[in-house]
Structure 1
Amino acid sequence: MSACVIMTEKSECIFFTYNGFRLHAHSFGSGSPVVLLHGFPEYWAIWRGQINGLVNDYRVIALDLPGFNLSTAPSRPNRMRSEDISEALLALITHLGIGQFSLIGHDIGGLLALACAARDPARIARLALVSSPHPADFISLRAGRPPDTPKDYADRILAHDDTGLFKPERLSFWIQNSNEKSALQAAMTSSDCDAIGALYRDNLAFDDLARWASLPAPACSVRAIYGDSDPFLPVTMLEGPYLRSLPNVTTRKLAGGGHFLHSSHPEWLGREIREWLAL
């Protein structure tokens, strides 16, 4: 285990190595800690709108998931299993001197947030899933689709048919601001496409359903936040039966909202997060 912290004017830039993972993160502000886990195709700075709204009152840690941007993953079979990644993420938070914290995950970052809550439930004060279904709902509802359902990005990744899928200019389609689009393209150019694919294949194959269905429910309150017009994840999946079965779950749904709420509706999402943190 090793770590390096680089001080900048507005944040700490952190590099931390644990069990083959090299994690890159930024820490902003002070106060009660909030950890942000991005999804695909993203990197730590996609939370910029929410960081700006939280930094005056909270310590905010935003990181690159393994394989994305400046975070790397080990080279071994099953290298991106959620159990190993969550252990590394929690080790990073411990290294930063943080005990209990609030955790927010977008998209596949929500899967890892649930894995962290299962591994060390006492440390997670509250958990939010943004445009992120329970993994068991994701797998089971996909398994029940009609056989003639058109293939989507997840089908392609799971089948190793991702030729051209990871082109940076293709992955940045959802960002309107030209500077932010260029920054995301640069981050995805620096990313490890094989590791990103492995994140899906090591956790979201049909035979992973049993381990997600038996995942211990988070001990903390859970807030599911999503748009009812998400083009990638239907509402039936975002509010599926495994999510609804969690004992302390509440939902917030944005009419007309899509998948990338942190970018398309940053003020709305920021208000929802601040309200949730204040409960």
Structure 2
Amino acid sequence: MTVTIKANQFATVDNGTRLHYASAGQQGQPLILFVHGFPEFWYEWAAQLPEFGRDYFAVAPDLRGFNLSDMPADLSAYKAKHIVDDLRLLIQHLGYQKAIVVAHDWGGAVCWNMAIALPAMIEKLIIINSPHPYLFMQALANDPAQKAASEYMNWLRKPDSEVALAKDDFALMDGFFNGMGQAPAIWFDDATRAQYHDCWRKGLSGGVNYYRASPLHPPTAENQGPLQLHLNPDDFKVNVPTRIIWGENDKALPKTLLDGIEDFVADVRVERIAEGSHWIIHEQPERINQLIRRFLTE
């Protein structure tokens, strides 16, 4: 059965945010929500929507600040609680009380928070290369290797980082995908590059504002970041069946971030892909689909 993607759909949710989304499958089937990261948009899930639209209502929104969704000017609008609220209200707007959630990178950060705060709304959680927030906070505060690996976050937090990102036809942005010091990415071909450039031309401030609004970044003399946080680990427990896919060749988010995950998630299983980078979704889309399928039937 061939399932086509329906793009250019919009929902104005009850907090007033207008979200763009793409979907595949029929509304009324069980909802599976795919949540992208930075610097991506709904198209990150172009290989997943038709596959899961066969037996689910598969929906991939643009998060606020990205592509065709609203891009608030106020920095405080990019705090995690507001993004969680967008997803909560989108699920309800689509006519559902809960969803299976698949999330990557910043989408994963948001959905970890959603699973902690609103467990009844998530039937199953599938995270791809996105650390649990408490473990990430601890690593940023105490692990020199993680501080160094995450130094790009402080650069993105600087004023006008979006100007530098857009320079020379998004040369730095292309570099995020196309190698990051490794061999050029086969998946980032001319057609895919054109899709991303079209997205980025709509604005980059929203995406970098996720970094600016977050307390999770390497500490600096001017901003202590996680060193200012005095959080209770018991407040970060996840009571949702969770499966994690981790490309272990991720230069920014190393596999050590998984150490201790069982202390925070009671029902968790990790699938490690040794050769996979941060962009494992693009590198091995069929394998990702197979793993998601397997998790959904467990």
How do 1:207-222 and structure 2 match up within 5 A? 207=226, 209-210=229-230, 213=233, 215-222=235-242
CA distance in 1, matches of 2:295, 2:25: 19
2:274 aligned with 1:278, yes or no?
no
Secondary structure, counterpart of 1:105 in structure 2: strand
Q: Deviations over 1:137-165 (max 9, x none)?
A: 22321222439947732121234472513
Q: Deviations over 1:227-269 (max 9, x none)?
A: 11112211102x0335653111110001211111110111111
CA contact (8 A) 2:149 2:252 kept: no
Alpha-carbon spacing, 1:104–1:10, altered in 2? closer, same or farther (3 Å): closer
TM-score by length of 2: 0.81
2:12 aligned with 1:17, yes or no?
yes
More strand by share: 1
Secondary structure, counterpart of 1:79 in structure 2: helix
Q: Report the CA distance between 1:177 and its aligned residue.
A: 2.1
2:202 aligned with 1:190, yes or no?
yes
CA contact (8 A) 2:244 2:269 kept: yes
CA contact (8 A) 2:98 2:122 kept: yes
CA contact (8 A) 1:22 1:73 kept: no
Structure 1 stretch displaced more, 144-153 or 132-141:
144-153
CA contact (8 A) 1:102 1:124 kept: yes
2:234 aligned with 1:235, yes or no?
no
Q: Deviations over 1:12-60 (max 9, x none)?
A: 6322234353211112103221000001111101111122321211110
TM-score by length of 1: 0.87
Aligned residue type for 1:17: T
Q: Deviations over 1:172-231 (max 9, x none)?
A: 34242211111011111113x332222122222424754584544232211111111112
Residue 152 of structure 2 aligns with which residue? 153
How do 1:65-84 and structure 2 match up within 5 A? 65-84=63-82
CA contact (8 A) 1:129 1:225 kept: yes
Determine which of 252, 270, 274 is the counterpart of 1:255: 274
Aligned residue type for 2:252: F
Alpha-carbon spacing, 1:212–1:90, altered in 2? closer, same or farther (3 Å): farther
CA contact (8 A) 1:69 1:190 kept: yes
Secondary structure, counterpart of 1:103 in structure 2: strand
CA distance in 2, matches of 1:107, 1:140: 18
Secondary structure, counterpart of 1:40 in structure 2: coil
Q: Report the CA distance between 1:110 and its aligned residue.
A: 0.4
Q: Report the CA distance between 1:84 and its aligned residue.
A: 1.3
Q: Report the CA distance between 1:67 and its aligned residue.
A: 0.8
CA contact (8 A) 1:33 1:59 kept: yes
Question: How many pairs align?
Answer: 269
Percent identical among aligned pairs is 28
Residue 164 of structure 2 aligns with which residue? 164
Aligned residue type for 2:210: L
Stretches of structure 2 that go unaligned for 5 or more consecutive residues are 178-186, 218-224
CA contact (8 A) 1:140 1:209 kept: no
Residue 3 of structure 1 aligns with which residue? none
Aligned residue type for 1:177: D
RMSD: 2.4
2:246 aligned with 1:226, yes or no?
yes
CA contact (8 A) 1:135 1:212 kept: no
Residue 5 of structure 1 aligns with which residue? none
Alpha-carbon spacing, 1:164–1:77, altered in 2? closer, same or farther (3 Å): closer
Secondary structure, counterpart of 2:156 in structure 1: helix
CA distance in 1, matches of 2:291, 2:274: 14
Aligned residue type for 2:120: A
Residue 200 of structure 1 aligns with which residue? 211
Residue 221 of structure 2 aligns with which residue? none
Alpha-carbon spacing, 1:215–1:47, altered in 2? closer, same or farther (3 Å): farther
Alpha-carbon spacing, 1:213–1:200, altered in 2? closer, same or farther (3 Å): farther
Q: Report the CA distance between 1:92 and its aligned residue.
A: 1.1
